[in-house]
Amino acid sequence: MRYGVFLTIQRAIMARKKKWSDSWTKKAKEQGYAARSVFKLEELEKRFAPLRGMKRFVDLGCAPGSWSHYITRHNHKASVVGIDFKEVNSYPGTFYQSRIEDMDPQIVRTDLGGIVDMVLSDMAPNTTGNRLTDHVRQLELADKALDFAVSVLRPGGRFVVKVFDGEDIQDYYMRVKKHFSTVKRLRPKATRNTSVEFFMLGLDFKKNPSSQN
């Protein structure tokens, strides 16, 4: 293939990706959300209704705040604690600018009245373009999210986490399954076609008596 033809094809692909991304971003702005990621949570809710009946939430990697705004907009009784090392403006709850590993779970439980119904994580690493490297880094964050969820959730609680597909994903699935009676998977429509991300949803947390000692 000639180099000029190759460049033309690449530019066409990039233009199509940009148009696709811009359409979701525009839709998010029109609805008053800071990021198109809100539609991923919306689809999870439409498919599995994980937010239904939940009142106390922890949003890990919450910047720029779209998931938390979605939760509080659709549930006026919801209380949300958000954690992110990036600053978030106009957060609809209690916000901590911190890395997850530096947060004391007891502080979060206290903020939510001693009970946490659901933990959500949309955390993602800065991607390198190397799928294996990105997969491993994403699972490191997903493991931190799972550990945090196990430390704060009430029995019967729920967990949503972003992951990147790859060779170790089944092992991670089994780690989630160890703590939740049901685990579901979803690749939302708002996910880029070239992305390997999807979400796991853990339902009915099986409380370990030692997890909150």
**C-alpha distance from residue 111 to each of 77, 96, 126 (Å):** 15, 11, 30
Task: For residue 124, report the phi and psi dihedrals to the nearest 5 degrees.
Answer: -150, 145
Instruction: State the DSSP string of 68-109.
Output: HHHHHHH-TT-EEEEEESS--SS-SSEEEES-GGG--HHHHH
**Which residues are CB-neighbours of 207 under 8 A, at least 6 positions away?**
153, 154, 155
**Tokens matching residue 120:** 């959500």
Active-site residue identified among 55, 162, 178, 184: 162
Q: Check if 26 is active-site.
A: no
Q: What is the dihedral of CA 142, 145, 149, 151, to 10 degrees?
A: 120
Strand partners, 182: 203
Catalytic residues: 162
